[in-house]
Amino acid sequence: MNFVNLKVDVVDRICRVTINRPDKLNALNQATIAELDRAVEAAVADPEVWAIIVTGAGDKSFVAGADIQELNGLEALEARTFARRGQMVFSRLEQSAKPTLAAVNGFALGGGCELAMACHLRIASSNAVFGQPEVKLGLIPGYGGTQRLPRLVGRGVALELLLTGRNVKAEEAQRIGLVNQVVEPDQLLGAAEKMLSVILANGPTAVGLCVDAVNRGIALSLEQGCALEADLFAVGASSPEMAEGTQAFLEKRPASFR
């Protein structure tokens, strides 16, 4: 599969998707969004891929935001279509049964912050900067930022960041729960691969069921969420992975999941 604005490679069951527009600080134009959609769809469908890393080319920027030239002059219906298209692509990452991880190098602003939040996990380099500065352009986030940010950091902190457009550095992002881990820039991809290797040692069906339970359960009451969990627990209990995992535990050996 050929791409103009992405680099895609698969090594040791991990698909690395790199936004590759360094001259534009990896800003997301519509062509890049379309390529990202194709890349993620292919990775999710590929049985040789068990996890996905999303990162940006270079060390200055993960994704600096949407391409402002494409935003300028949008009419209302065009703007809605613009937003829904990006939301659909980002939701593909969020709803993937395979773990998705954003390795954030440098600026993750606007659409870049939204892309990182759509991934299940986020590791940031110490020079990373996050923000939703859309209000400074007279806009609001359009790729899910107003919805995912409060789910990650809480309503009050999310509103502060959304209403002020203030950027946060990596350490603060970790403190407020926006980022899982902060590492030095030269350790970023290694740390991402290390975290995923720990996850990939577990049953892949169970990993996918955990993602599904959290994604769907977060919008439910506790009682409804627990009922969903019981249903998904039953799915996991009937899988070959459960038989292998429990047998391996009893035999005091590493499990071999396929």
User: Which spans in the chain are helix H?
Assistant: 30-45, 68-71, 76-94, 111-118, 145-153, 155-164, 170-175, 188-200, 204-217, 222-237, 240-250
Of 97, 98, 100, nearest to 115 by C-alpha is 100
Instruction: List the catalytic residue out of 70, 75, 134, 229.
Output: 134
- Measured N-to-C along each axis, helices 76-94 and 111-118 cross at an angle, to the nearest 10 degrees, of 30
**Cα–Cα distance for residue pair 117/10, rounded to 1 Å:** 22
> Is 75 assigned a catalytic role?
no
Residue 81 CB neighbours (<10 A): 11
Phi-psi region of 138 (alpha: psi -120 to 50; beta: other; left: phi over 0): left
Beta bridge partners of 11: 14
Of 205, 227, 203, 207, nearest to 217 by C-alpha is 227
**Cα–Cα distance for residue pair 160/166, rounded to 1 Å:** 8
Which residue reads 């403190």 in tokens?
A: 175
Instruction: List the catalytic residue out of 114, 193, 229, 241.
Output: 114
> Is 35 assigned a catalytic role?
no
| Positions marked catalytic | 114, 134
